[in-house]
Amino acid sequence: MFNFLIIGAGVSGSVLAEMIASQLNKKVLVIDKRNHIGGNAFDYYNESGKLIHKYEPHWFQAAEGDLKKCNSIPGNANHELYRKYKQDADELGNFLFCGRLADYKYYNIDPIVARALMLFDQKIISTK
Ligand SMILES: Cc1cc2nc3c(=O)[nH]c(=O)nc-3n(C[C@H](O)[C@H](O)[C@H](O)COP(=O)(O)OP(=O)(O)OC[C@H]3O[C@@H](n4cnc5c(N)ncnc54)[C@H](O)[C@@H]3O)c2cc1C
């Protein structure tokens, strides 16, 4: 029997799972649609010993003709899908959003960790 379900084993989900388990001594189930933890920050060593970042930036053709790397920028269709998901989630009383998918923006890892710790302090610790 679990006390918390965390959907997504990225940095946010992993930090929250660790805090809930170690600080509150509660049982946490973490699930992910991928077959590894770490989310978009996941990396691994290939057979030649090179460290590979699995989720490469996307490439786009700049106006000047150069190929440039960038992180994916959500378009209108994705924003609409996100709005529907958020509305559904808001209707569930005890459902908390965290991480970059919580408001569909790019964040570096340090603010992602800070947001997870803030959510823990402000919303989760009170469930103790
Ligand atoms: C190419 C690239 C380079 C980056 N470089 C840097 C850098 O140099 N420095 C830095 O600080 N940050 C960097 N970042 C940002 C960093 O990766 C993110 O801040 C961090 O990974 C966000 O963590 P998160 O847990 O919020 O989201 P994510 O890492 O996206 O984790 C979300 C998890 O949820 C899972 N998930 C989503 N939907 C579902 C579902 N419906 N059911 C089950 N599981 C689901 C996903 O599979 C994923 O594992 C980079 C990001 C990218 C893409």
Domain count of the chain? 1
Give the closest residue to 120 by CA, choosing from 89, 93, 99. Answer: 99
CA of 42 to the centre of ligand 1 (A): 8
**What is the CATH number for 22?**
3.40.50.720
pLDDT tens by residue, 49-105: 999 888 876 666 666 666 666 656 667 888 888 889 888 888 887 888 899 888 888
SS3 label, residue 19: helix
103 vs 34 pLDDT, higher one: 34
What are 96-124's pLDDT values in tens digits? 889 988 888 888 899 999 999 999 999 99
For the whole model, what pTM was predicted? Answer: 0.86
For residue 12, with 0-12 CB atoms within 10 Å meaning exposed, 13-18 middle and 19 or more buried, which class applies? buried
Instruction: Compute the distance from residue 40 Cα to the ligand 1 centre, in Å.
Output: 3
User: By residue range, what is the domain housing residue 40?
Assistant: 4-127
Joined tokens for residue 89? 């989630």
Q: In sequence order, what are the beta bridge partners of 53?
A: 43
Which ligand 1 atom is at minimum distance from the Cα of 34?
47
Residue 18 has pLDDT above 80, yes or no: yes
Residue 70 is predicted with a pLDDT of: 61
Cα 112 to ligand 1 centroid, rounded to whole Å: 9
Best mutation site among 6, 15, 31, 40 for ligand 1 pocket (most ligand atoms within 8 Å of CB): 40
**In sequence order, what are the residues at sequence separation of 6 or more whose Cβ sits closer than 8 angstroms to the Cβ of residue 30?**
6, 8, 9, 13, 14, 17, 37
